[in-house]
């Protein structure tokens, strides 16, 4: 995994499993649940996994109430593009290349390391979607570093000296420049995202995103996370 990738939590529902318990309990309770005393957070999680999730019952509605917000940094543009296809109960704000092009010029000026702004995979052996293996060599990567630096210099020249708008000049940049983004998931939408994007044939870099998000989720909702790890993680089971 690229050491620059990072994920931090900006905000999260307090006692998320207790909130899900209230929603679940109201489905079946004849009383007004606000007046009831809930179990503690850990016990609430145990009730949820037993009554909602065990046996793939598919009653995911109560999981829509808690939410968690991540700050995701230094991921390639391709990851943001894939992640942003998920729009149901998911909200994004993404670093715009119309307004943040100065970092490209800083690369051209030698003030920022090229790999702070552009993403290239590490040297190594990879496989395509059909399982065919290939090697990305040091020579290949060195050539790509040169191309990225040249693109940064051309971009800077276009903006500074030719007067082009940033949204025009960005068209010549390598596709996988790095982008930061903020994303908020409901608990249900996060698990759905994990179903699709942590599966073993997903693109490596978006799996890295999932791997960095997951410990935060597990600390936030440990009983639900333990159920998911046992029954669904990496298994490409699509949640309803």
Q: What is the mean pLDDT of residues 201-206?
A: 93
**Does pLDDT of 64 surpass 70?**
yes
Question: According to the 3-state scheme, what is the secondary structure of the chain?
Answer: CCCCCEEEEEEECCCHHHHHHHHHHHHHCCCCHHHCCCCCHHHHHHHHHHHHHHHHCCCCHHHHCCEEEEEEEEEEHHHHHHHCCCCCCEEEEECCCCCCCHHHHHHHCCCCCHHHCECCCCCEEEECCCCCEEEECHHHHHHHHHHHHHHHHHHHHHHHCCCCCHHHHHHHCCCCEEEEEEEEEEHHHHHHHHHHHCCCCCCHHHHHHHHHHHHHHHHHCHHHHHHHHHHCCCCCCCCC
Range from 18-27, 54-63, 122-131 carrying the lowest mean pLDDT: 54-63
Q: What is the mean pLDDT of residues 94-109?
A: 94
Q: Residue 239's pLDDT is what?
A: 56
Average confidence score pLDDT of the chain? 94
129 band by pLDDT with thresholds 50, 70 and 90: confident
Q: What is the mean pLDDT of residues 92-99?
A: 94
**Does pLDDT of 240 surpass 70?**
no
Q: Residue 238's pLDDT is what?
A: 65
Range from 50-54, 115-119, 157-161, 173-177 carrying the lowest mean pLDDT: 50-54
Q: Residue 201's pLDDT is what?
A: 87
Q: Residue 236's pLDDT is what?
A: 75
Q: Residue 141's pLDDT is what?
A: 97
């Amino acid at each position: 995994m690229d050491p620059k990738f990072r994920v931090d939590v900006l905000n999260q529902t307090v006692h998320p499993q207790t909130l899900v318990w209230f929603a679940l309990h109201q489905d079946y309770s004849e009383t007004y649940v606000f007046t009831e005393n809930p179990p503690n957070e850990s016990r609430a999680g145990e009730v949820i996994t037993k009554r909602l999730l065990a046996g793939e019952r598919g009653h995911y509605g109560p999981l829509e109430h808690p939410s968690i917000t991540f700050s995701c940094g230094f991921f390639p543009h391709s990851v943001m593009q894939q992640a942003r296809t998920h729009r149901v109960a998911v909200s994004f704000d993404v670093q715009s290349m119309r307004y943040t092009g100065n970092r490209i010029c800083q690369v051209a000026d030698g003030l920022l390391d090229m790999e702070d702004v552009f993403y290239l995979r590490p040297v190594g052996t990879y496989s395509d979607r059909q399982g065919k293996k290939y090697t990305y060599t040091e020579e290949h990567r060195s050539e790509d570093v040169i191309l990225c630096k040249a693109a940064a210099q051309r971009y800077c020249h276009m903006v500074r000296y030719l007067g082009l708008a940033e949204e025009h000049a960005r068209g010549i940049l390598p596709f996988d420049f790095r982008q930061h983004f903020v994303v908020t998931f409901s608990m249900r939408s996060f698990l759905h995202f994990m179903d699709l994007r942590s599966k073993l044939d997903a693109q490596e870099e978006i799996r890295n995103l999932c791997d960095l998000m997951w410990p935060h989720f597990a600390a936030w909702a440990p009983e639900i996370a333990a159920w998911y790890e046992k029954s669904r993680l990496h298994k490409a089971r699509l949640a309803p």
